[in-house]
Structure 1
Amino acid sequence: MPTNAEAAETFRAIADLLDVLGERFKPEAYRRAARSIDTLTEDLAAVAARNELRSIPGVGDAIEAKLREFLATGRIDYLERLRREVPPGVAEILHLPGLGPKTARRFWTDLGVEGPAELRAALDAGRLDGQKGFGPKKIAQIRAALDAAAGGPPSARLPIEEAYPIAHRIVRALREGAGADRVEIAGSFRRGRETVGDLDVLVASRDPERAFDVFSTLPDIREVRLRGGTKETAILARGLQVDLRVVDPSSFGAALQYFTGSKEHNVIVRTRARDAGLRVNEYGVFRGETRIAGATEEEVYAALGLAWIPPELREGRGEVDAATAGPLPALVTADDLRGDLHVHLEAAADAAAVERLLEEARRRGLAYLGLVAEGVTAPDGRSASPNRRWRRRCGPRRPASGSSASPRSTRPGRLRVR
């Protein structure tokens, strides 16, 4: 049975191809339906079985019919027809990093470019020079995107908890060694997604070479794939791609907003800017040729009449409309945590190890800490409760007994915790 994620991705593909074909309003209708499907808390098939597909925001008669076709066959004939109208190479172009369907359409209709190889030839021949919207920086970005795509398929997405220590080692090294004014991780990592496909690192500095030199020598780096005037791309030992961009401090906020994404959020933000007679990109917010905002994210959103939007909400799910009414509700942060009930403690840990954990808990302002004996297993597969030997290591504090159980250690369909 097709999944919700597959359905949403199919509708986004329809929207992209409609953009390439020059449709004005249909693409956003399909993207809205895709966003709604992404946020469903149950399977589409269950909604369809109750004849309630029309209750999904953005789903009308036409889209309902396509959803039913997709659930029944795993495909949508309308998408196949669109694919036949657009050269396959143009579809490859619209998936290049930093490019989109409207840019791919310009290459196709204005320059006759129908694939990445033809695009590279057009760059080499100087055919983009002087074209409106394609200045030296944009041309360099397109060339870098082609180079990155030529390096092979992207690596598998990495769980954010595995990407977290890598990201913070990179940030710490750049802050300490590159003399950077500011270093931030953008992209899906900053939005707190469960997995990340790559890391986007932004550095505010007027000395890109120094930042690149520090970055290139990090022990996590396996290969530097490309290096340009303001961007360096490297592959880590884990196969994860990291893009380091050095931006001028005056446009750091705009770059951080742009590269944090998501794509759906940024499309809505750009549409709002256009409707207000403005233009927004990674360099700032512009009225004509005059930049009116860009140093901070707050001023970028304020220039568009919006309250600042937390990165975790930037998924194109109504947050922009909500931000027009004023500040959004505060999200839960690490400062709100009162304690941690599941901290593994090795069976051989001594009193000093316990004290270090407790001291860190105090430093973070935690009111309680739950320690689980690691490597001490009860006969039924559960981690054993703290035994007297290392309970004494907690000193005068009163530890509470507890255990953790894995469903995999019990009989199928049964889980008993006493």
Structure 2
Amino acid sequence: MGKKEIIKLLNEISIIYEMRDENFFKIRAYANAARALEMSDIDINKSTPAAELKKIKGIGTHIAEQIKALAETGSLKLYEDLKNSTPPGLFEMMKIPKLGPKKIKYLYDNLEITSIGELEYACIENKLLNLPNFGQKTQENILKGIELLNRFKDRFLFANVIEEAQKLHTKIANSPFVIRSSLGGSIRRKNEIVKDIDIVASTKNPQEVMNLFTSVEEAEEVIAKGDTKSSIRLKSQVNADIRTVSDSQYPYALHHFTGSKEHNTAMRSMAKKFNIKMNEYGLFNDDKLIECKSEEEIFRVFAMDYIPPELRENIGEIEAAKNKKIPKLVDVKDIKGLFHFHTNRSDGNMTLQQACNESKKMGFEYCGVADHSKTASYAGGIRDEDIEFYLDEIDLLNSKQKDFKIFKGIESDILSDGNLDYSDEILKKFDFVIIAIHSNFNMSQKRMTERIVRAMSSKHSTILAHPTGRLLLARDPYDVDIIEIIDAALEYKVDLEINASPFRLDLDWRACKYAKEKGVKIFINPDAHSI
């Protein structure tokens, strides 16, 4: 069993223990072990010694032995016994926002609710209203949470799927029967949310490729197996599809199964103007195949620049390619420094020194720390009286290094009225001020937009963080006029953030196009809380 699966299993043990109202320390032990393992750099495999695991702070001897057993055998009797005695629907209910193990156990004990469907029906029938610690608001929030789950059913974060997709593709690519292959679909376009994993492969022996694909150890179920197309469900519950073609058809198939539906429709419409029929099998002029050996050659047929997969969304890339104006995509090596990260001065679990060391190791030339402000007390926000200590620490580190610069920043909360939560006297001490909303999300669009614009008008505001407040697959963006926000950013010379947390990726890439056209600067920030 791999590291990711072991972390998931340890968390599930902790959850089951909490549902059963077990000893608090037992619950924390497994939760802490899962967190410690996730934060560690250790690569777990069958040969990883338990002694090495015990060196990780937060993992005791007993759990280290269990992790070792899981890595070696893929199973743990304790977990199997706990899971077999717990209705599986209770785990599904954990996906509902703000519904924790104890409340789920209470619903199970008092209303015999064992699934999300039963819970939804109970809410509709108002059965939760008279239960202690529930009530009308909780019932409404549960229904909203269920609606959100249903809307995002069978959707996954790109960051949670890409590693598994690459490993699966590598197995296919390494087959002696495969000539060329690639990931396709939304995974290849690097969409923030994906539905499944698509693989396109060229071969002279499709049956052997189908046999390999449907027998990989990651497969939980073979959904369909055909001559040139097969589908499987992985143990992670992600579906994966493969399509095989001859090598001469490969460029056309890869192009077809990469672009969004809208991009492909627009490309076919454009091709018609050249009297060319375009599909996954080729380009045809009066039924005669136009031979292309690569995707690049397909675009050259239409006198276009090559369109990178990430841009194939029909948002102007086709016209740009015709006019030889396809932009150069940002690469990691283009990023010279990082802004917006948190240290143990607020809710990060790294020191400023550790963050700087890691930044230098990654080749960055500077960084900008921005711990939470005082309103974010839940995140250890820095109080007025502690600001000088915070700034002094940055000055001290800067004085010790000549080849690396730390910029002094703060993530200041935008209050409900649009004011920032520090005085001008404090804010002027920083090199930059990130402004952000962390509360009161349910305002009307007019009020929310006015609130943010007022905060942007402050002479101290430098960067607007995660501008729409979304948490992918967990929380919708708040209702805000993003066009007005971008216009205000230009007016007040406030930069916008693409928060690079895989749970946010906010500002959305669709809005970035307008921001770029308006000349608004955009920061790509990690919002990191750990190394």
TM-score by length of 2: 0.40
TM-score by length of 1: 0.49
